[in-house]
């Protein structure tokens, strides 16, 4: 329920909401109302960077790698839409 409330407050431009960069176990997606809603496509945009060159350097922190991560056992998402667009926030455990 925490993520759902956050998504709703974000979509409603709640001025009391404290925004910060996503933590390593979170991914965000905002889709303006005039665009097609497709969070998986958005989070997969950088999937080509998931290769040995970057993995060996230890610099992979892509939304896509979080989606397919073997160590993730649970995912929780909050989704809320209004006239401004749709907000999707997911957290991995």
Q: What is the pLDDT of residues 36-82, one digit of tens each?
A: 999 989 888 877 777 777 666 666 666 777 777 667 788 889 999 99
10-30 pLDDT, tens digit each: 888 888 888 777 777 888 899
Number of domain units in the chain: 1
Tokens of 90: 């997911």
The range of the structural domain enclosing residue 44 comes to 2-92
Which residue, 56, 57, 71, is CA-closest to 25? 71
Distance from C-alpha of 47 to C-alpha of 73, rounded to nearest angstrom: 21
């Amino acid at each position: 329920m925490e993520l759902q409330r956050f998504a709703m407050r974000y979509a409603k431009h709640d001025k009391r909401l404290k925004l910060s960069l996503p933590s390593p176990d979170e991914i965000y997606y905002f889709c303006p109302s005039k665009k097609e809603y497709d969070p998986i496509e958005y989070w997969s945009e950088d999937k080509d960077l998931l290769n040995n060159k970057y993995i060996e350097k230890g610099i992979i922190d892509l939304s896509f790698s979080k989606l397919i991560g073997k160590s993730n056992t649970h995912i929780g998402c909050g989704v809320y839409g209004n006239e401004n667009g749709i907000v999707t926030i997911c957290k991995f455990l």
